[in-house]
Structure 1
Amino acid sequence: MFGSGLWASSESQHPDTGISVLVLGDSISAAYGIDKRDGWVALLEQRLEPQCASVKIHNASVSGETSAGGLQRLPSLLAAHQPQLLVIELGANDGLRGLSPKQMSRNLQHMVDLAEAAGARVVLLGMLMPPNLGAAYVRLFEQAMSDVGDDESVLFLAFFLKDVAGNRRLLQADGLHPTAAAQPRLLDNAWEVLQQPLTAICHATLAVTRL
């Protein structure tokens, strides 16, 4: 987390200019089956608020969303919210439906390109597929996801559901969707790649207010 009191001396004297973060995900980020206030995206905003009060997180996640659906919606979302940071959490539904990993990779890369053209940094929260989909498909999916993550401009987390997937105590009855109790773990996982860009964005925004 940000250090306590990181900007305490200036917060009261300089209003923030506003920070926009866009989360584009599927049911995992849409807080499926739980109160949205308990979801990891809401918890992220709570974590940021004490030191970066002007941050606004726009959660455009939709249950069942695929990479193709996210790509279709992204241009209008970028125009509407003008984010400094785009968090992509998509691909799991592509895999679970047996869709082409190569096409998923192209969709994700196109999203990265659109975001960068709009001036946003990109975080990709990756997924892995269960072995029952077949070893060959699992390998293709993992490679397709990592191909996008290997882009030097992308901050990539290989497996967003680390320490959650397969843990029955942290999954709903369907065995797929995390419970409310799992959300702090998801936030901690995401924080591994979110902390650096969010710290930089908040510092940069504060510097502008001092001019």
Structure 2
Amino acid sequence: MFLKKQLIQLCTIITLLFISSFVSASTLLVMGDSLSAAYNLRQQDGWVSLLKNQLSQSHPEIQVINASVSGETTQGGLSRFNDLLATHKPDIVVLELGANDALRGYPLDQTTLNLEKMIEQAQKSGAVVLLIGNQIPQNYGKRYTQMFFNLYKDIASKYSLAYLPFMLENVALNKDLMQSDGLHPNKAGQPIVLQNILPHLQPLLDNIK
């Protein structure tokens, strides 16, 4: 009788622990383009997978979903964003889009509007956002490249977001860390990209209840 009672108590504890871990699970959604989709690399070598591996040790309760697509524009991202929010219910969204808009010469006011819509949708769903900015080559014209770079800062200020101005700092101008196209980090560059992102992401991770 005593053993039966102990067994029931043990099963109850295990069940409660399972339910607790399920309820406390959190999700981080990365919404990006080729810079976050491990372009021309194995998926496990990209910065998002490196982040996932690191969080499995430091924050095992956080699930990382990479919804990044090579070639994605802000319009493409916006078109599928609501469904991703509904499916994954993220606590954190890392938003890294816009470079392809600029490389294609799209109007920056439309890029701004698309990013703002995604941010508003994320915040309405209860997620906090880390906005990642970018730069484009100077041959697109000084005025256009500066306006593109500044739009992220303006959006981050408007919505009081965590903000990283340039994810390829200390990578973009180093040929040893970049692929031959001069636009995408190689395998060696990916850990440095992650190290650029982590200081801005860490406070959001630590605030997850």
Bucket of the pairwise TM-score, normalised by the shorter protein: 0.7 to 0.9
Question: Does 2:75 correspond to 1:90?
Answer: no
39, 50, 56: which is aligned to 1:49? 56
* Distance (Å, rounded) in 1 between the aligned partners of 2:119 and 2:82: 11
Report the counterpart of residue 7 of structure 2 in structure 1: none
62, 71, 83: which is aligned to 2:78? 71
Report the counterpart of residue 110 of structure 2 in structure 1: 103
TM-score by length of structure 1 reads 0.87
88, 107, 112: which is aligned to 2:119? 112
* Distance (Å, rounded) in 2 between the aligned partners of 1:53 and 1:139: 39
> Of Structure 1 and Structure 2, which has the larger fraction of its residues in helix?
2
128, 142, 145: which is aligned to 2:149? 142
Question: Does 2:35 correspond to 1:28?
Answer: yes
TM-score by length of structure 2 reads 0.87
Give the deviation of 1:102 after TM superposition: 1.1
Q: Unmatched 5+ residue regions in structure 2? A: 1-15
Kindly provide the amino acid, as one letter, of the partner of residue 71 in structure 2.
G
Report the counterpart of residue 10 of structure 2 in structure 1: none
Q: Runs of at least 4 residues of structure 1 off by over 6 A?
A: none
Q: Percent identity?
A: 43
Report the counterpart of residue 151 of structure 1 in structure 2: 158
Q: Deviations over 1:144-164 (max 9, x none)?
A: 222212134311101111111
Given that residues 96 and 129 in structure 1 are in contact (C-alpha distance below 8 angstroms), is that contact kept between their aligned partners in structure 2? yes
Given that residues 105 and 147 in structure 1 are in contact (C-alpha distance below 8 angstroms), is that contact kept between their aligned partners in structure 2? no
Kindly provide the amino acid, as one letter, of the partner of residue 112 in structure 2.
S
Question: Does 2:128 correspond to 1:121?
Answer: yes
Q: Which moved more, 1:91-100 or 1:76-85?
A: 91-100
Give the deviation of 1:52 after TM superposition: 1.6
Give the deviation of 1:124 after TM superposition: 0.6
Greater RCO between the two (CA within 8 Å, min separation 6)?
1
191, 197, 204: which is aligned to 2:204? 197
* Distance (Å, rounded) in 1 between the aligned partners of 2:110 and 2:154: 12
Given that residues 131 and 152 in structure 2 are in contact (C-alpha distance below 8 angstroms), is that contact kept between their aligned partners in structure 1? no
* Distance (Å, rounded) in 2 between the aligned partners of 1:168 and 1:66: 26
* Distance (Å, rounded) in 1 between the aligned partners of 2:117 and 2:28: 19
Given that residues 132 and 152 in structure 2 are in contact (C-alpha distance below 8 angstroms), is that contact kept between their aligned partners in structure 1? no
* Distance (Å, rounded) in 2 between the aligned partners of 1:196 and 1:149: 16
Pairs aligned (count): 190
Report the counterpart of residue 5 of structure 1 in structure 2: none
Q: Unmatched 5+ residue regions in structure 1? A: 1-12, 205-211
46, 61, 64: which is aligned to 1:39? 46
Structure ID, larger Rg: 2
SS at match of 1:197: helix
